[in-house]
Structure 1
Amino acid sequence: MEKTIELENNAELWQKTLIWQPNSLQNQQFEGLYQLILAANQQMNLTRITAPDEFWEKHLWDSLRGVVHWLSDPLSTSLRAIDIGTGAGLPGIAVAIALPNWQVTLLDSTRKKINFLQSAIAQLDLENVVTLTARAEEIGQQQPHREAYDLALLRAVGSPTVCAEYALPLLKIGGLAVLYRGVWSDAETETLNSATSCLGGVIASVESFTTPMSDSHRTCIQLRKVKHTPTEFPRSVGIPSQKPL
């Protein structure tokens, strides 16, 4: 029997927790994304989370919780966002569905995953999403991408300081990086603050919360770009993770 997400039944949870809920087209696209990921998961390791309720909470809801501040008026902004290390297209595709005026770039270094995402984008009829096969360290030094984005999304990518080095060079001044994390500590804030300042950014907010079904602990950290990132960042491929700031 085919697994399906009871999206209509989650309308109250969407509204209660995000003060937003998807329309019928968005529900269809979320369900379509789920089915596409399930099918592709047979050939490649996209996610271990495949149960319908878990997928809704830990992928769809979690993806949108990171951009909750824009959901109150989803058609009022038109931001250029990049999902760094997108993997199965999360959070990027979920964000693109919920915020159709945004232009979302899905970045991943694995061609096989990008091929899947290109197929998924076409099947979901998403005109506001493009893909890019590259490393963040590479495009952060390339003019079409350096300081070109309003928002960077990083979920399950690397340590917070590595995420900062990936994201901040890509952001315009005033832009935000959203780091999706689990349990967070003051010590992590201190370490991240030091690295962020080297990259032309500041920690704008640290928001902790629990997920609506399993009460799992999550934290969203926003980094704001306040000045140009020094030209030596990001460093060469692999260096940010090998020698974190």
Structure 2
Amino acid sequence: MTDIRDIIKAGCSELDIEIDNIHVEKLVKYKDLLIEWNKKMNLTAIKDDEEIAIKHFLDSLACLKVKGLVEGKLIDIGTGAGFPGIPIKILKDDIKTTLLDALNKRLEFLKEVCRHLDLTDVEYLHGRAEDYGRDEAFRENFDFAVARAVAPLNVLVEYCLPFVRVGGLFICQKGPNLNEELKEAEAAINILGGRLVEDLIIKLPFMDIKHRIIVIEKNKQTPTKYPRRAGKPSKNPIK
């Protein structure tokens, strides 16, 4: 199987995720833009069509295995080249999507992607999660926060849970060896108002690679002292 369209369709079938030809063509266009822009700025180390389809697109779409991720407001924290936020938006256009990243050049790329793919109701935030998480316009204002292995879990929850409304979900994509991280993050999850409700093991189609998706429900408000100022969560994680 060499055509990226066949890989995407077969991979979604294996993951039991519905996809149509319009979605597939948007993902192919996204891939083309990613490769084009990657020549002038560092967006991804993955440059092969098949690997982009599997390790970026299918991996991102695996988030749709989480119960309840259908509609509402979603923020992708540390979105980078748009993963997992943009693939989710392509398949679930009713989800109002916010993409947050510390590098403005990446957001310029994402604006170009959304323009080419006719993706609307997308907001772009340039800055640090610690700063936006204290802003009343964004704090506890989202149904879902997603993040893709940008920091240890006990740090990630401080970046992400402040954005999630009570009753909403933080969906975190991680590698398979997560047990120690989960243990170290228990106190932070509890202090920040969350509880672990789902731990999915996802085998990436066509590869001998397994990832974990950790789902944390927000069951009480995050104390106002969190998130701490920029840099503090990573230097001194909650224990």
TM-score range with shorter-chain normalisation? over 0.9
Q: 1:69 deviation in Å? A: 3.3
Partners of 1:66 and 1:210 in 2: CA distance: 12
SS class of match (1:87): coil
Q: 1:229 deviation in Å? A: 0.2
The aligned residue for residue 184 of structure 2 is: 191
* Deviation sequence 1:126-178 (CA, Å, 0-9, x none): 01322111210001000110000000010031111111001111000011111
1:208 aligns with 2:206: no
Q: 1:9 deviation in Å? A: 5.0
Q: Which runs of 5+ in 2 are unaligned?
A: none
Partners of 1:30 and 1:149 in 2: CA distance: 25
Which consecutive segments of 4 or more residues in structure 1 shift more than 3 A? Answer: none
The aligned residue for residue 108 of structure 2 is: 115
The aligned residue for residue 20 of structure 1 is: 17
1:137 aligns with 2:135: no
Q: Which runs of 5+ in 1 are unaligned?
A: none
CA contact (8 A) 1:150 1:172 kept: yes
* Deviation sequence 1:6-33 (CA, Å, 0-9, x none): 213542331122x223212111110011
CA contact (8 A) 1:96 1:128 kept: no
The correspondence for 1:101, drawn from 91, 94, 106, is 94
* Deviation sequence 1:20-77 (CA, Å, 0-9, x none): 2321211111001101110110111100111111111100000011222359xx8xx4
Partners of 1:160 and 1:24 in 2: CA distance: 36
- Percent identical pairs in the alignment equals 32
Q: 1:188 deviation in Å? A: 2.0
For this pair of structures, how many residues does the alignment match?
A: 237
Q: 1:78 deviation in Å? A: 2.1
Q: TM-score, normalised by structure 2?
A: 0.94
Q: TM-score, normalised by structure 1?
A: 0.92
Counterpart amino acid of 1:54? E
1:49 aligns with 2:46: yes
> Where do 1:1-245 residues align within 5 Å?
6-17=4-15, 19-69=16-66, 77-245=70-238
Q: 1:209 deviation in Å? A: 2.8
